[in-house]
């Protein structure tokens, strides 16, 4: 049959798809397959919110393929066995895919490529999910970067504003048996996801709609508004990027192509956020232990507090008594997403005011975020805890009241997600205890000043032990 197989993972799109373009250029039928093998991602198997997104993204991709005379094929893992079965069914001579960078998956992909090539097949992986491959950016000494700013200065000038690959207008695919999407069991059986549908449109079309909204409404004021959770000042592209429904190259091209040299300056703050995303993968690639262990080895001995289950649940459910923290955690539960500024605030509260290990937060985010991404989830939590790259020193502790008053000055964000406080004036909404409390809303679960001092004491203890040897 001389077929080619395109193995889809987190590249659920048809445009700017190098693996699909290679298969189409080779000629003959093209089989686009998604292989469901979540156990191969252990110990970080996809969480509940990302499974919700995956279901709808696969459905959207299948619809796009059917409009082109094809369809999405779904099989169950193990991945190698599923690919070998497809090769036998179709007589395929080539298998193409886009790279992923998580340690367990890189190891798996390398083994699969070796087996397929050993059997005489073409087996090729392609870049496309990042601006720069993690191994292509190094210090002058040939070492990986551990600080973002010099990484960005080295990486960004190498990025070209290339024309993205067009989606094929037609794809010829053979009729093959497929697992039904519903059989994967990706959607929740208890309907906690009712708030997701109104705010998200998974799929390639949704990704480009989000980019268009950003360009129209937020790009001009991004540098000022990006820290304001009460304003629509961000792109909300992160889940679309995670699932590969849009590529960084498409975004850069949309913002910069034909706009002149000043466009790079005008969009610098936003483009740096794409750089931070790449930096997370750079760290994960070079330091594969960091999803579980601190990048800064001194933190292996940090005296984390033993979690009180009731206090941990109060943080998870947005019942801490600290309004900006509770608003963020409720936004996460309701929508599967949280504004980045608020992510830093709630992470600081967990790791410093409660002094709980950052993994408790990383695991909760992993299960509840639609954009849960191992590289960036790890980087964000280690940064907040003080144990990662580019970490603010541990003693730089976010003051949640001051953060709320600065970045949600009228209290609109808190009012949206914490309706118990909706009637409070702006000068009180971030510290309701100053009014003696509000009926139906909890008192703070921790004293902010005392817990800050306890965190500083714990940090001093760790530093003293590290210095002693």
Q: Is 358 a catalytic residue?
A: yes
**Active-site pick, 40, 89, 340, 405:** 340
Q: Is 381 a catalytic residue?
A: yes
**Active-site pick, 315, 337, 364, 381:** 381
Using CA atoms, how far apart are residues 342 and 229, in angstroms rounded to an integer?
A: 7
**Active-site pick, 276, 315, 337, 366:** 276
Q: Is 276 a catalytic residue?
A: yes
Using CA atoms, how far apart are residues 300 and 387, in angstroms rounded to an integer?
A: 9
Contacts of 411 (CB under 8 A, 6+ apart): 230, 323, 404, 421, 424, 425, 426, 429, 430
Token match 């005008």: residue?
Answer: 266
340 and 222 in contact (C-beta within 8 Å)? no
Using CA atoms, how far apart are residues 426 and 176, in angstroms rounded to an integer?
A: 61
Task: Look at the alpha carbons of 235, 236, 238, 243 in this order and tell me if their dihedral is positive or negative.
Answer: negative
Q: What are the φ/ψ torsions at residue 458 (nearest 5 degrees)?
A: -65, -40
DSSP of 51-120, one letter per residue?
HHHHHHHHHHHHHHHHTTT---EEEES-HHHHHHHHHHHHT--EEEEE----HHHHHHHHHHHHHHHHTT
Using CA atoms, how far apart are residues 397 and 459, in angstroms rounded to an integer?
A: 12
Q: Which structure tokens are listed for 397? A: 């502790």
**Active-site pick, 41, 84, 304, 405:** 304
Q: Is 192 a catalytic residue?
A: no
Length of the chain: 469
Using CA atoms, how far apart are residues 239 and 376, in angstroms rounded to an integer?
A: 12
Contacts of 310 (CB under 8 A, 6+ apart): none
Token match 């000068």: residue?
Answer: 427
**Active-site pick, 124, 133, 273, 420:** 273
Using CA atoms, how far apart are residues 330 and 379, in angstroms rounded to an integer?
A: 22
323 and 317 in contact (C-beta within 8 Å)? no
Residue 248, classed as helix, strand or coil, is: helix
Q: Is 273 a catalytic residue?
A: yes
Count CB atoms within 10 A of the CB of residue 69. 12
Which residue in 135, 148, 105 sits closest to 11, CA to CA? Answer: 105
Q: What are the φ/ψ torsions at residue 98 (nearest 5 degrees)?
A: -95, 150
> With the CA atoms of 132, 133, 139 and 143 taken in that order, what torsion angle do they form, in degrees rounded to the nearest 10?
160
Which residue in 277, 343, 280, 357 sits closest to 312, CA to CA? Answer: 357
Residue 35, classed as helix, strand or coil, is: strand
- Would you call 106 exposed, middle or buried from its count of C-beta atoms within 10 A (0-12, 13-18, 19+)? middle
**Active-site pick, 52, 358, 364, 383:** 358
Q: Is 152 a catalytic residue?
A: no
- Please list the active-site residues: 273, 276, 304, 340, 358, 381
């Amino acid at each position: 049959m001389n077929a080619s197989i395109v193995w889809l993972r987190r590249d659920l799109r048809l445009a700017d798809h190098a693996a699909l373009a290679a298969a189409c250029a080779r000629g003959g039928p093209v089989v686009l397959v998604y292989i469901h093998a979540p156990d191969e991602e252990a110990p970080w198997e996809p969480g509940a919110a990302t499974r919700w997104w995956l279901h709808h993204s696969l459905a959207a991709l299948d619809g796009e393929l059917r409009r082109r005379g094809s369809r999405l094929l779904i099989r169950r893992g193990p991945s190698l066995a599923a690919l070998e079965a497809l090769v036998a069914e179709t007589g395929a001579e080539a298998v193409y895919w886009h790279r992923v960078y998580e340690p367990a998956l890189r190891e798996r992909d390398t083994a699969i490529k070796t087996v397929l090539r050993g059997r005489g097949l073409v087996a090729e992986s392609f870049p496309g999910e990042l601006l720069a491959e993690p191994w292509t950016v190094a210090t002058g000494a040939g070492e990986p970067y551990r600080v973002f700013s010099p990484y960005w200065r080295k990486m960004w000038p190498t990025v070209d504003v290339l024309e993205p690959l067009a989606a094929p207008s037609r794809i010829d695919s053979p009729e093959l048996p497929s697992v039904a999407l519903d059989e994967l069991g990706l959607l929740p059986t208890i309907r906690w996801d009712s708030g997701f549908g109104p705010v998200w449109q998974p799929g390639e079309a949704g990704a480009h709609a989000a980019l268009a909204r950003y360009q129209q409404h937020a790009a001009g004021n991004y540098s000022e508004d990006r820290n304001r959770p009460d304003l629509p000042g961000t792109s909300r592209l992160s889940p679309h990027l995670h699932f590969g429904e849009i590529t960084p190259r498409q975004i850069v091209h949309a913002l910069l192509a034909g706009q002149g040299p000043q466009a790079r300056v005008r969009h610098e703050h936003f483009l740096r956020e794409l750089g931070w995303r790449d930096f997370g993968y750079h760290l994960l690639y070079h330091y594969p232990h960091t999803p579980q262990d601190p990048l800064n080895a001194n933190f292996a001995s940090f005296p984390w507090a033993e979690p009180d289950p009731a206090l941990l649940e109060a943080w998870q459910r947005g019942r801490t008594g600290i309004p900006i923290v509770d608003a963020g955690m409720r936004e996460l539960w309701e929508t599967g997403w949280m504004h980045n500024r608020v992510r830093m605030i709630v992470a600081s509260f967990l790791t410093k005011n409660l002094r709980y290990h950052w993994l408790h937060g990383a695991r909760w985010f992993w299960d509840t975020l639609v954009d849960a991404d191992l590289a960036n989830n790890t980087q964000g939590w280690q940064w907040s805890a003080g144990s990662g790259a580019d970490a603010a020193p541990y003693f730089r502790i976010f003051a949640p009241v001051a953060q709320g008053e600065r970045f949600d000055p009228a209290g609109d964000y808190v009012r949206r997600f914490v309706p118990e406080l909706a009637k409070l004036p702006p000068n009180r909404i971030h510290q309701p205890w100053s009014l003696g409390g509000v009926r139906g809303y909890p008192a703070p679960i921790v004293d902010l000043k005392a817990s800050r001092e306890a965190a500083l004491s714990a940090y001093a203890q760790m530093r003293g032990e590290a210095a002693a040897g």
